[in-house]
Chain A
Amino acid sequence: MHTPGLTRPRLYWCAVAALGLLVALGIAAYSRQLASGMQITGLSRDIAWGLYISQFTFLVGVAASAVMVVLPYYLHGFEAFGKLTVIAEFLAVAALLMCLLFVFVDMGRPARVLNVLLNPSPGSLMFWDLLVLAGYLLLNLVLLRTTLVADRYGVPLPAWVRSLVYISIPWAFGIHTVTALLYAGLSAKPAWMTAILAPRFLASAFASGPALLIILALILRWTTRIHVEAIDKLGEIVAYAMTANVLFTALEMFTALYSGIPDEAEHFEYLFVGFLAPWAWASTFLAIVALAILLVPKARRNAMLLAVACLAVVGSVWIDKGLCMIVAGFAPTPLGDVTEYWPTLPEISIAAGIYAAGSLVLLVPGRWVLARREQQ
């Protein structure tokens, strides 16, 4: 039987091979980092966290955003999100695996990473963050497996799934809130020490995650026979969340710039005038493009325009969380110095390898599910 698009063997194997190659390059770069230390990254005394921790931050948001389809489906009985919940859970699992890998490659002494559990430190937000992330991963793995098994044998979901889902909903908000608190309690980083950081994180996550889901659903629609319903509804969620995200960012900038307190304002000056300025402006521009489409219902309902808007949302949030926010938080340093950071080639290779591994986690079992769905 002819199966079109993504489930076509040739295309599939090409994608797997390409991703596998990226994973291999990432592993090669990481073994160099293991051998010669983190000097091979662009990080320094002054900018201690960079690409890895930024990707971690961005991906926690992607993982948390699964709740934006799970919640309407289970709590409000919004049946149209039924198929989407499976994709969302897949995305959450892949994103969480990537999160944990990004934290792992950021460790100077990765072999000792279990010290976090061997010497539990309840005063450290990093301890809590790793706990809630691992817990959320476990929850989603169980949910995903149960859904797939029920789907395979055409039986209804067991009753206990519902209680797990009820736990997973606040948990999703929890993982991104705790990740924000990791930064928001540091007196050394005025740019991060703001009460609006957690709401900002949640808003940008609930914009970028569903935007990614829409892109995935549109790819499925265009390349397979699977038609995911309710994309319009998801577009509405992205519109609300992105508006909130832009509003929260603007509020933060108002407080910093109007008060004119140097510690608060210097961060934004660095962001929009300094080394990262082209990126900060690109993120702003993409946010404007996205809102211009999302806020006009007619434009939003056009699949092509919606795809553009979603790409703009993901791009804008990725630049904001996956690059600017963490790095710019370190500048200027406590002694007033500005050291520039840019990821090195090995660092980028390691990050690309992790993204490729995450894509494989999405693609390989995903294809199996897709093939079954197409036959139905």
Chain B
Amino acid sequence: MDRRDFIKTAGLGAFGLGGAAVGTALIRATTTKPSREVVRAKRWAMGIDLRACAQHPGCRKCIDACHAAHNVPSIPEPRHEVKWLWKATYERTFPEQVHEYTTATTREQPVPVLCNHCANAPCARVCPTGATWKRADGIVMMDEHRCIGCRYCMAACPYGARSFNWQDPRPYLHTVTADYPTRAKGVVETCTFCAERLVAGLPPACVEACQAAGFGALLFGDPDEPGAEIGRALRARDALRRSPALGTAPQVFYLV
């Protein structure tokens, strides 16, 4: 039983005993209070500065930081890989942007790809249990304890951004971070824009790693917030989104 179920059951039990007030108090007491930052953000978004990122072609700092922070296993078999953040070529990420005169350098340029946290997320729409859902602040959230492993979300995601645990991932963890749960076999997982760090007022792990290295290729925040860097960048520069014609409205923007 996961915490949400526990809260519900506990709440219902309390009501059953006639203690409505007790139940409410229980739910209040056990629900994580969102930090001010979460409440303030109407919609989280990420900007990926492709020019800045291209300066460091072999760099894996964002990927390593993300996968270490979230206990993402390193599975050698590509068919069974679990990936939250990885790099694909420009050509494969934006096939509609490539034409016959596009240079090989541009085509082969590595581009970080991850869950797009679509405003109109097909994965959340198709999930039969509500294990993946859209939060008010735009994050596509994942409850691995509720997931039945039907993989409908994987079929529905136009970005291939969701991973299924085809096996027990724990033997493939070199180091385990105690701050974040590990997963079991049979469930789907994906990037959550570091919801657990946002609650604590921290930026996502990938953004932090990129900034710490002084590369500044990853921006994060609420574009509608006055003065936010991501909002300024999105208004000043051209930005691409993956497969915009599908109407999913990705919240990951690629600044070109």
Residues of A within 8 A of B (CB): 36-39, 43-46, 48-49, 103, 106-110, 112-113, 115-116, 118-119, 121, 123-127, 130, 186-189, 329-330, 333-337, 339
Contacts and interface: CB of A to CB of B under 8 A. Distances in A.
Contacts of B122: 186-188
B150 A39 contact: no
Given A48-B151, A108-B188, A115-B128, 17 more contacts: A37-B185, A44-B79, A48-B164, A49-B151, A112-B129, A112-B146, A112-B147, A112-B148, A118-B129, A119-B130, A121-B127, A123-B125, A124-B127, A125-B126, A126-B152, A188-B246, A330-B155
Interface of B: 78-81, 88, 92-93, 95, 113, 122, 125-131, 146-152, 154-160, 163-168, 185-188, 243, 246-248
7 contacts: A45-B163, A108-B185, A115-B128, A115-B129, A124-B125, A188-B159, A334-B159
A108 B148 contact: yes
A126 B128 contact: yes
Nearest to B126: A124
A46 B129 CA distance: 22
Nearest to A330: B155
Given A115-B146, A121-B127, A127-B128, A187 B158 contact: yes
A188 B155 contact: yes
A116 B128 contact: yes
Interface of A is mostly: loop
A116 B80 contact: no
Contacts of A127: 128
A193 to B, nearest CB: 10
A49 B165 contact: no
A335 B148 contact: no
Contact of A334 (B79, B80, B158): B158
Contacts of B92: 335-337
B79 A108 contact: no
Nearest to B157: A188
A37 B165 contact: yes
Nearest to B123: A188
Contacts of A49: 151, 155
Nearest to A106: B150
Contacts of A330: 155
A107 B155 contact: no
A188 B243 CA distance: 10
A335 B88 contact: yes
A174 B130 CA distance: 24
A329 to B, nearest CB: 8
Contacts of A106: 150-151
B155 to A, nearest CB: 6
Contacts of B168: 36-37
Closest 5 CB pairs of A and B: A108-B149, A108-B186, A44-B79, A188-B158, A37-B185
B147 to A, nearest CB: 7
A317 to B, nearest CB: 22
B148 A113 contact: yes
A37 B78 CA distance: 16
A328 to B, nearest CB: 13
A6 B78 CA distance: 50
Interface centre among B88, B130, B146 (most CB of A within 10 A): B130
A189 B155 contact: yes
Contacts of B159: 188, 334
A103 B157 CA distance: 20
B155 A46 contact: no
A126 B150 CA distance: 9
B195 to A, nearest CB: 20
A123 B153 CA distance: 13
A121 B80 CA distance: 28
Nearest to B161: A334
Contact of B160 (A46, A119, A186, A329): A46
